[in-house]
Amino acid sequence: MPLSIVTALVRNLIKVPAVVLRNRMAKDAEVLALRHENAVLRRQIARVRCASCSGTGMRNTPTPSTPSSQPTT
């Protein structure tokens, strides 16, 4: 009986640092994933800004024309 109590205590004492370490590792992994996502989104925004700054997006848009004088029926 006393041996089982000591064994249970030792197991619980070993689990505590493992849980704390696992939580830290999970947080580090989440931060790493969020940093990667942030970098990808920044690259996408930079591409949109560069495309709009170069004027290539404006070349293909139709220019507004004056209304034609068509008879109304």
Q: Is residue 51 within 8 Å of 57, Cβ to Cβ?
A: yes
pLDDT at position 62 is 54
57 CB contacts (<8 Å, ≥6 apart)? 51
The residues spanned by each domain of the chain are: 2-54
How far, in Å, CA of 18 to CA of 10, rounded?
Answer: 13
More confident residue, 24 or 66: 24
- DSSP structural state of residue 59: H
Confidence of residue 58 (pLDDT cuts 50, 70, 90): low
Could you give the 3-state DSSP secondary structure of residue 73?
coil
pLDDT digits (tens, 9 = 90+) for 17-55: 877 778 888 899 999 999 999 999 999 887 777 666 665
pLDDT at position 5 is 86
